[in-house]
Amino acid sequence: MSPSPLATDQNEPAGLERAASSSVKDNAWRGELELILASRAGRSVAVRQYHRGSLRVLRPHYLDASGQVTYAVVNPGGGYVDGDHYRVDLALEPGADLLLTTQSATKVYRSPRADTLQQTHVSLGAGARLEYLPDQLIAYRDSRYRQDTRVSMDPSATLVLADVVTPGWSPTGEPFRYDRVRLRTRVHMTGCPSVVDNLLLQPQTHGLAGLGFFEGYTHVGSLVVLDPRADDAALAEARDILTERSGHLRAGASATPMPGFAVRVLGRSTPEVAEAIEAVVNLVRARWFGQGAVNLRKY
């Protein structure tokens, strides 16, 4: 059986959402980033850019002739530590096209007192497209991490949202030494809730390496694709891509309530999980936008 791409864990700690929300109000953000993108003369450009604290973006790049702009987010601090809170706000005006990535992996270190938090708000106007393809999240021993992503999008917009979670190195050699990782994505379309993807990983509670959860695998990848052109044929192609890799991975893809699909991938290394996610992303790029494979060289 393939893992369910849109599984919601009903056993998450009561009041976790309220507690995290109040803690952000009481503490300053460790890093903030705001970008507003607009389409100008066939190219997407930043019409507002703001950063403060331990978040930056590198100079924009145009990887092909499509006019899509690429930004890479940088955390000069090197990683997330106990109680760090980060905020990213993205707004894409009608027709804007953004490929957002990170310069390197997001590293979450020991968090004995409070969760680290990454909060992202996204607004997509008519015909806008966001491809958010960060490097992997590495959760080290005794770390606690919460990622809250909220998207408000026009029905004609496109969203491609990826995540890969990797267990960090442990002196004992055990893969699952982090305390808790929670990834929650909520998408609203025309003001109505449309998709919720909730992944809660608690190794001590769930026994992640055993049957029934990670099926003996150590790495997990997620992908949400929403586009008005998504249909059964696109979903079938995505499944074919994942099936080709089934000798090393376990993966599932299912349709979302609005046009689109969600993917979950289980593997034993970051490259094999990331490559499977990227192969589906490249399908979307070629099928709907006539673009080549994504090439995010960072060296």
Rg of the chain over Cα atoms, rounded to whole angstroms, equals 18
28 or 226, higher pLDDT:
226
Question: Using CA of residue 14, residue 17, residue 22, residue 28, what is the dihedral sign?
Answer: positive
Let me know the angle formed at the C-alpha of 241 by 291 and 126, rounded to the nearest 5 degrees: 40
Termini Cα distance of the chain:
39
Q: Does residue 250 contact residue 215 with C-beta atoms inside 8 Å? A: yes
176 or 47, higher pLDDT:
47
Tell me the pLDDT of the chain averaged across its residues.
89
Residue 299 has pLDDT above 90, yes or no: no
Residue 226 has pLDDT above 50, yes or no: yes
pLDDT digits 0-9 by tens, 30-85: 999 999 999 999 999 999 999 999 999 999 999 999 999 999 999 988 889 988 99
Distance CA 157, CA 258 (A): 12
Distance CA 239, CA 235 (A): 6
Distance CA 122, CA 35 (A): 10
Query: What global pTM score does this model have?
Result: 0.89
Q: Does residue 287 contact residue 237 with C-beta atoms inside 8 Å? A: yes
Q: Find which of 75-89, 145-159, 239-253 is predicted with most confidence, using mean pLDDT.
A: 145-159
Residue 27 confidence (pLDDT): 52
Distance CA 29, CA 46 (A): 23
Average pLDDT over residues 86-96: 98
Residue 3 confidence (pLDDT): 43
Q: Does residue 155 contact residue 124 with C-beta atoms inside 8 Å? A: no
Residue 211 confidence (pLDDT): 59
User: Considering only CA atoms, which of 264, 174, 254, 279 is closest in space to residue 220?
Assistant: 264
Residue 298 confidence (pLDDT): 61
Distance CA 229, CA 144 (A): 38
Going from N- to C-terminal start, the domains of the chain cover 40-289
Residue 216 confidence (pLDDT): 84
- The number of C-alpha atoms within 13 Å of 166 and in the hemisphere containing its C-beta is 18
Residue 13 confidence (pLDDT): 40
Confidence bin at 208 (pLDDT 50/70/90): confident
Distance CA 279, CA 83 (A): 35
Residue 15 has pLDDT above 90, yes or no: no
Residue 289 confidence (pLDDT): 97
235 or 5, higher pLDDT:
235
Identify the weakest region by mean pLDDT among 3-12, 74-83, 106-115, 158-167.
3-12
DSSP element (H, E) containing 232:
helix 232-244
DSSP-assigned letters across all residues of 118-164? EEEEEEE-TT-EEEE----EEE-TT-EEEEEEEEEE-TT-EEEEEEE
Distance CA 268, CA 70 (A): 29
Residue 25 confidence (pLDDT): 55
Distance CA 184, CA 200 (A): 8
